[in-house]
Structure 1
Amino acid sequence: TWLTCEETEDRAGEEGMTKDHGYVFEVDPEDRRANREPKPVKALGRYAHEAVVIDPKRGHAYLTEDASGPNGLLYRWTPPEHFRHGRGRLRALADDAGVLQAFKCFDSGGKFVDDLSRATKTGTVYGVDWVDVPDRDARTTSVRKQFAAGEVTRARKLEGMWWADGGAYIVSSYARDESPGRPHDGQVWFYDPKRRTLTLKVLLGVNADPSADGAFDGPDNITVSPYGGLVIAEDGDGVQHLFGATDSGRTYPIARNELNLGTEDDPEYSEFTGVTFSPDGRTLYANIQTPGIMLAITGPWKRQKRR
């Protein structure tokens, strides 16, 4: 099965909605009957979900929230005792199964970090604690608004995630005036559950001219390359790319979307999405969101040298 996320928290009666939204759903690609009446996995919380990954060793689910006013959170769901992931098992859970928590970061001196935009250089390492969510179904108050200042760490536009190397790679798309730290046009973090640390792997400075080729902004979907480093889908301003990042955080272009949906004088390019490699590592798949094109990129690929 796969998990799909609702990137909204609209309630029934709002915007024409007939049901509450903001949930994760388990989809069975082989059994249509299981999908005819979708059942939300309420145990994972109701908020503006972006992505979810599963720790195959410990069973935790990690979830990003793409929200502002205030900025969103990174969540961890701990399954109930003796739970094992498998086909249809999340869908069968009770609404209050397991424990949903939000992250809280500390710097090397033990000082609380209120927002990930505080990090100004790659290699920054934060310690991580987890704080229980009071009301995961957000019956009266959005989950991210249930915490007072100093209780949790926030980030603007927490986006794609990918599980590899024993942990979760996590994207924060950008930071501007709504974030208390330094503005940036993208971060990629790595959470190590064994050490309970969060390390900044990639940092994109503010892109002064998004219409020019060669600079990147607004990372979104992400995958880990079998040849080393990361492949990232851009959802920024101006020109849109697939780009790579080495283990040292250096970025480089892979592909550019040249399908202009606007005009010659006012060009518009849709974002790349859904980047992932085939199981044999030979083909990189990616989508262009509008008008809806799937691409298969066969390389040639070369293993990166570690620097």
Structure 2
Amino acid sequence: MTSQPEQSLWHRLLETRLTRRSALGSAAVTAAAVTLPVTLSDAQAAANNGAPVVADPKERISPHSVPTFRPIEPTTADAVTVPAGYRTQILAPWGEPFTDDGRTIGFNHDFVGYFPIDMLEGGQSSTEALLTINHEYVNPLFVGGNTQERTPEQIQAEMREVGVSVVRVKRERGEWKIVADPRNRRIDAFTDIELTGPVRGAAVVKGATTVKGSVGNCSGGQTPWGTLLTCEENVDGYQKAWAGSGYEMMHQGWVTEIDPFDPEWMPKKRTGMGRFRHENAAVTLAADGRVVAYMGDDMQDSCIYKFISRGKYDPQNRAANRDLLAEGDLYVANFGNGSWVLLDYDKNKKLQDAKNGDKPLFTSQAEVLADARAAALAVGGTPVDRPEDIEVHPRSKDVYAALTNNSKHGNFFGQIIKWTEKDGDAAALNFVWGIFAYGGPQSGFASPDNLVFDAYGNLWMVTDNSDLGTNPIKAYHGNNAMFFFPTEGPNMGKAYRFAVGPVDAEMTGPVFSPDGKTLFVAIQHPGEDTEDINNPTSTFAAKPGTKIPRPTLVAIEGFPGWKA
């Protein structure tokens, strides 16, 4: 049971309701209320006098017991709302020039990767980094002003707005800013990308070894050797939208590896990791040093996968590590018996016997990987409720997955699950699992999406509700939001609302700086439901004198130990 002092603290915490609506401009703004620190004694003091306190690590209680902020109320404000004592700053909005050749930040930010500028020298800078920003898709009303049949010029414009931005940032004089760097660049729908693995040169990709572009860039992952894994999700819609552009749908839908530190290294599509609606790739190491990546197929009644490399990670050989994801084995999860099932045409007879009518469903490993969803279901992979982000706990190594929802089966609120691999080894082929948190009015959240752990092992989650404002069962929710969850202790799995996004937007791609003092989060598709460009539903991050909302990053500061 919770001790009496902690109960008293929580009673005070939950009885005090405070909403802060902080509209964002081009500069930082500061919220104005109370921040609760980590230590119990200081927490009680702060609850009484409102003073932000930096915890003494020697006195720190379990960071899993109480959040270090006062949870906020739901809101429908057209702003990023954060707790008292925290501040927000807009960074790298859509359309901002940032490269030597005049390229601008792409549209609809999603995954954000933080690569300390000194990472390759063993450093962990928390004030200077290369950020990678995924750009998932475009809103044709805002990019070109045409929602009907695209003109060739509009198609070209849209193809330049997707992909990835690599952006150098630095914190100076209390604010983050973009700084010039020859590594600042865009990967878009025109970029040359090499195919690696079993699908390279196969008939299913028309013999291609190099393809054009990376699109549908949803979430992603980072490797221990300092590369980005950008995940291609909803790629099929472009076949019609970009008709006549040369777009090849089968060339998309993969995990693409990009080296933010080396512009000369051609990005690689890792076909051994399968083709489906990739949400992200959560990378960890097995007990023997092999690389393991967990991935979800973001669609109703689709599956969760695990890729295990053939080679082993060598911390002294970055060049060799950059080839590790070229070869490996792909597995699908069977939650009915807690097992990982190998998706290998030569080794799994179910794949050889699978039929589409009278015809074999697959005739080669390349075909298995190119339609991994069909292969997964053919071997008994468990269909789940829209698997979005998957992340690995930094200490326990338990794996957490956000299952967003599944209206086909009446699951409108979603849930977060977690599993433990046998013997704690990521390469194990058996696991046990359970529910970590349920969405719904009783928990305050719905439709969990991207996840991130802080250094203590607390879980942070952002939501992905597309029907807020129209679905009466979600009236309790307010705009899409970010929540904090203890992963241990008496409040394990309990959701505490930390931030709320603007109108029609998702908050996506959260990532902490190494010192935990800055949380970067993307604001995606504000004003998404706009029908009249002269009367947008949101004006969030619009340029001065305009109304058009802009996707952007937001840097949130005010965590324990932070100083302006």
TM-score by length of 2: 0.42
**Is 2:307 the partner of 1:77?**
yes
The question of whether the paired residues in 2 share the 8 Å contact of 1:72 and 1:156 is answered with yes
Superimposed CA distance per residue, residues 59-80 of structure 1 (whole angstroms, 9 cap, x where no aligned partner):
2211111123xx2111111211
Structure 1 40/148 Cα, relative in aligned 2: closer, same or farther at 3 Å?
closer
Equivalent residue number for residue 172 of structure 1:
403
Partner of residue 100, structure 1 = 330
Q: Distance in 2 between matches of 1:61 and 1:184?
A: 28
**2-structure distance, mates of 1:150, 1:193:** 20
Q: Which residue is 1:122 aligned to?
A: none
The 1:228–1:100 alpha-carbon spacing in structure 2 relative to 1, beyond 3 Å, is: closer
Report which stretch shifted further, 137-146 or 18-27. Answer: 137-146
CA contact (8 A) 1:243 1:254 kept: yes
**What is the rounded CA distance, in whole Å, between the counterparts of 1:61 and 1:282 in structure 2?**
27
Indicate yes or no: 2:340 matched with 1:130. yes
Q: Deviations over 1:252-288 (max 9, x none)?
A: 111112x33xxxxxxxx21001112110112222111
CA distance in 2 between partners of 1:292 and 1:61 (Å): 28
Residue number in structure 1 paired with 2:77: none
Shift of 1:216: 1.8
What SS does structure 2 have at the residue aligned with 1:233?
Answer: strand
- The equivalent of 1:222 in structure 2 is 451
Match of residue 62 from structure 1: 294
| Residues 103 and 129, structure 1, Cα contact 8 Å, conserved in 2 | yes
1:8 to 234, 251, 268: 234
In structure 2, what is the equivalent of residue 254 of structure 1?
Answer: 498
> One-letter code of the match for 1:23?
W
Q: Indicate how the Cα distance of structure 1 residues 138 and 73 shifts in structure 2: closer, same or farther if over 3 A, else same.
A: farther
What are structure 1's unaligned runs of at least 5 residues? 107-111, 113-127, 209-213, 261-268, 303-307
1-structure distance, mates of 2:404, 2:238: 29
Cα gap change, 1:43/1:90 in structure 2, threshold over 3 Å: closer, same or farther? farther
In 2, the alpha carbon distance for the partners of 1:28 and 1:104 equals 33
**CA distance in structure 2 between the aligned counterparts of 1:161 and 1:4, rounded to whole angstroms:** 14
Q: Is the 8 A contact 2:309 2:325 kept in 1?
A: no
Q: Give the equivalent residue in structure 2 for 1:274.
A: 509
Q: CA deviation at 1:131?
A: 0.9
By relative contact order (CA 8 Å, sep 6+), the higher-ranking structure is 2
Could you say if the C-alpha distance between residues 157 and 49 of structure 1 is closer, same or farther in structure 2, counting changes exceeding 3 Å?
same
Q: Equivalents in 2 of 1:83, 1:11: separation in Å?
A: 37
Q: CA deviation at 1:229?
A: 2.6
8 Å Cα contact 1:41/1:93 also seen in 2: no
The within-5 A match list for 1:1-307 is 1-8=227-234, 10=236, 16=243, 17-18=247-248, 20-35=251-266, 38-58=267-287, 59-68=291-300, 71-82=301-312, 84=314, 87=318, 89=320, 92=323, 97-106=327-336, 128-133=338-343, 134=345, 137-138=366-367, 142-148=371-377, 151-164=380-393, 165-177=396-408, 179=409, 183-195=411-423, 196-205=431-440, 215-236=444-465, 237-238=467-468, 239-247=479-487, 248-257=492-501, 259-260=502-503, 269-290=504-525, 291-301=550-560
| Distance 1:234-1:12 versus aligned 2 partners, 3 A rule | closer
Q: Which whole-Å CA distance do the structure 2 matches of 1:243 and 1:20 have between them?
A: 36
Q: Give CA-to-partner distance per residue, 1:45-65, whole Å, 9 cap, x none.
A: 111111111122442211111
User: 1:28 touches 1:88 (CA, 8 Å); kept in 2?
Assistant: no
- Say if 1:228 and 1:80 are closer, same or farther in 2 by CA, change over 3 A: closer
Assess, with a 3 A threshold, how the Cα gap between structure 1 residues 136 and 246 changes in structure 2: closer, same or farther.
farther
- Please, which runs of 5 or more residues in structure 2 have no aligned partner? 1-226, 346-363, 424-430, 469-478, 526-549
Per the alignment, in what secondary structure is the counterpart of residue 281 of structure 2?
Answer: strand
Moved over 6 A (4+): 11-14
TM-score normalized with structure 1 length:
0.73
Percent of paired sites with the same residue: 26
Q: 1:115 aligns to what?
A: none
Separation of aligned partners in 2, 1:33 and 1:140: 28
1:11/1:20 contact within 8 Å kept: no
Of the two, which has the highest radius of gyration? 2
Assess, with a 3 A threshold, how the Cα gap between structure 1 residues 299 and 92 changes in structure 2: closer, same or farther: same
| Deviations 1:62-115, CA, capped at 9 Å, x for gaps | 1111123xx2111111211546587465764686x2211101123xxxxx5xxx
1:3 maps to a residue whose letter is L
- 1:8 is paired with a residue of what secondary structure? coil
Aligned-pair distance for 1:12? 10
SS in structure 2 at match of 1:294: strand
Indicate conservation of the 8 Å contact 2:341/2:379, yes or no: no
Contact between 1:170 and 1:188, CA under 8 Å: does it hold in 2? Answer: yes
Kindly state the Cα deviation for residue 191 of structure 1 after the two structures are TM-superposed. Answer: 2.5
Q: From the two aligned structures, give the one with the greater helix fraction.
A: 2
What is the CA–CA distance in structure 2 between the aligned matches of 1:75 and 1:93, rounded to whole Å? 18
